[in-house]
Structure 1
Amino acid sequence: MKKTIGIILALSLLSGCAPEIGSKEWCASIKEKPKADWTIKEGKEFASNCIF
């Protein structure tokens, strides 16, 4: 029982990880997201890390 709970906890923690801001994966995920849904911070980070 404890092993099962541990596995479920580990999987939930690993599945919740998002790519690091400014990484190629993050830039790709932001490009797919509609611009209307971007936050101000996402817009600034996208401009500084993915465009320039």
Structure 2
Amino acid sequence: MKKVLALVALTGLLLAGCAPEVGSKKWCKAMEAKPKGDWTANEAKDFAKHCLFKTEE
């Protein structure tokens, strides 16, 4: 059982490393392609902050 949990944890870490960084152009494009009904509240907030109301620093 411990081996299965370790494998699941490792798989999760590897998959998380493949996701584009929140706020990047690639992430914004991926969010635009994702159905709005599938967005989480945090994704919607981050999309508005980083993709719609983007401020130059």
Q: Does 1:32 align with 2:29?
A: no
Bigger Rg, which one: 1
SS of structure 1 residue aligned to 2:21: coil
Give the gaps of 5 or more residues in structure 1: 1-12
Give the gaps of 5 or more residues in structure 2: 1-13
Structure 1 residue identity aligned to 2:31: I
Q: TM-score of the superposition, structure 1-length normalised?
A: 0.70
SS of structure 2 residue aligned to 1:25: helix
Aligned length: 38
User: Percent identical across equivalent pairs?
Assistant: 58
Structure having the larger proportion of residues in helix = 1
Q: TM-score of the superposition, structure 2-length normalised?
A: 0.64
Displaced runs of 4 or more, over 4 A: none
The answer for the alignment partner of 1:45 in structure 2 is 46
The answer for the alignment partner of 1:10 in structure 2 is none
Q: Over the residues paired in the alignment, what is the CA RMSD in angstroms?
A: 0.7
